[in-house]
Amino acid sequence: MNIIKINYAECKPWLLLKHYAKRMPPISYSFGLVNENKLIGIVCYGVPVSSSLRKGVCGEYYSKNVLELNRLVINSNSPKNSASFLVGKTLKMLPRDAIVVSFADTQQGHIGYVYQATNWIYTGLSAKRTDWKIKGMEHLHGATIADMSRGKENRAQYMRDTFGDSFYLQERSRKHRYVFFRDKRMEKKLKYKKEKYPKGESSHYDCIDI
C-alpha cells in the first residue's frame, strides 16, 4: 500500500456517498490510500470551524497551528490495519508545527482505536451540546441542518418560521477527543487533561464500498 495526495473533487464521492455525515468539511490536506493501483480509502485534514476548539487545545497563540482530522473513510474489504497505516503515514506529511485534533463519535459506536494505535493523546469526552433537527430529516447531520439558515440575522427564528413544530433541538452525542503533536516538544502546551485510553466494543456503520 502507498499514500498519494488527492484533491477536493476526488474526496467528494467518499464523503458524500460513503461517510455517515454526508457533507463536505473544510479540507486543507487530503490523502488517498492505494492498494494494487486502486484507491481504497481517504483521510482529510482541515481547519476546525469552531474557534473555541482551535483556542482550547493549546491556547490562542497556537490556534493557527490546529488542524482537525475530520474524515477517515476506508473500504470494508481493505487489508488489516489500513486505517492506522493511512493515518500514521499522513500525519508525517503535515506541517512540522501542526497540532491535530480528532473525534470518535460515541453515537456511531466509535472508540478511536485508530488514534490509539498511532499514539495520539486522549483528552476525554467533548462538552455536552445540542444539535438542530427537523422531523423527517433525522438522517441529516446537525451541521447540515444549521447550514440551511446560514446568512440569516436570527438563524434559530428563521428555522422556526420555516419548519414550525418540525424544528427541534436534540442533545448531541459526546465524542472521544484525541490530540496529536507533529512536534512532540509542543505537548507541554496542551491545555486539556491527559486521560487513559477508553476501551470497549467498537462498531461500524453500513455503507457502500467505492
Q: Is residue 160 part of a domain?
A: yes
Same domain, 44 and 120: yes
User: Could you tell me how many helices (H) and strands (E) the chain has, helices first?
Assistant: 6, 9
Same domain, 62 and 158: no
- H/E/C letters for each residue in the chain? CEEEECCHHHHHHHHHHHCCCCCCCCCCEEEEEEECCEEEEEEEEECCCCHHHHHHHHCHHHHHHEEEEEEEEECCCCCCCHHHHHHHHHHCCCCCCCEEEEEEEHHHCCCCHHHHHCCCEEEEECCCCEEEEECCCCCCCHHHHHHCCCCCCCHHHHHHHHHHHHEEEEECCCEEEEEEECCHHHHHHCCCCCCCCCCCCCCCCCCCCC
Same domain, 66 and 35: yes
Q: What is the pLDDT of residue 53?
A: 93
Domain count, the chain: 2
Q: Which domain holds residue 159?
A: 130-171
Q: What is the pLDDT of residue 203?
A: 65
Same domain, 144 and 42: no
Same domain, 106 and 22: yes
Same domain, 94 and 147: no
Q: Is residue 208 part of a domain?
A: no
Q: Is residue 198 part of a domain?
A: no
Q: Is residue 69 part of a domain?
A: yes
Per-block mean pLDDT, blocks of 10 residues, the chain (210 long):
96 90 92 96 95 95 97 93 97 98 89 96 88 85 84 93 92 89 97 95 67
Same domain, 152 and 55: no
Same domain, 27 and 90: yes
Same domain, 39 and 138: no
Same domain, 143 and 113: no
Same domain, 104 and 136: no
Q: Is residue 54 part of a domain?
A: yes
Q: What is the pLDDT of residue 132?
A: 87
| Domain CATH for 183 | 3.40.630.30
Same domain, 65 and 153: no
Q: What is the pLDDT of residue 209?
A: 74
